[in-house]
Structure 1
């Protein structure tokens, strides 16, 4: 049964932020594998796909090379067709939802997807602590991040 999309209020976000700022890094890193697995068992990403519907990963140079080759496109053609440069100077998709997301929430380039997609939602790695602003943003739409932070901060 898919877990509902998180409805996070400002108070919860504040609690998560305070927790992340004070968290014992080693203790959290030891807990993440089990909490990540627990969340992945509770949440069906194919029922949600909020990440793909509303946000874009960064497309790094290796991603562009791999995906354009897979699509049998020149890299410049792939970039012109699908990508734009964001305010941080990164390649991201031109529009949401992601053009590779199907109506069934399956990714048409899943086997060659960007590394950001493969690693998302970062709940099994130290990005959760190292990039706290990203973690908090992700908690507002990703039930997995919300679940992991909820379990950590109790």
Structure 2
């Protein structure tokens, strides 16, 4: 997808971002908060706006999530793939229904529960969220012959 597809990012912004070396969604995703602050200042937009574009770009990595859905998800408080991975699909659908009721122009079509479940599953894969039954990795054992240093108060 192109930068210009992000809702709220106009052609003039895409050109300014391009001049700054941000030509694709991936370039936008790679920015740290500090870089976002610098870039926002240099292209004349607010940090909040640039941060929102980055959040939309992140959500658009999920298969089936188009710019309109990314915007709607962001408006209901989901701002990253990682966060979406932890969300309850039924609650997400209910929030999207309420959003459409309150602001019908935001979403042309409501996603189904099945859509949201698929997106959540995809988000889990993208975010590498451990499964509930996954056992934590074992702590490395201490090498033989070594004990805790400094616990006895003296060295021998």
Q: Over alpha carbons, which structure has the higher Rg?
A: 2
- Both structures adopt the same fold (TM-score exceeding 0.5): no
Q: TM-score by structure 2 length?
A: 0.30
TM-score (norm 1): 0.31
The higher-RCO structure (CA 8 Å, 6+ apart) is 1
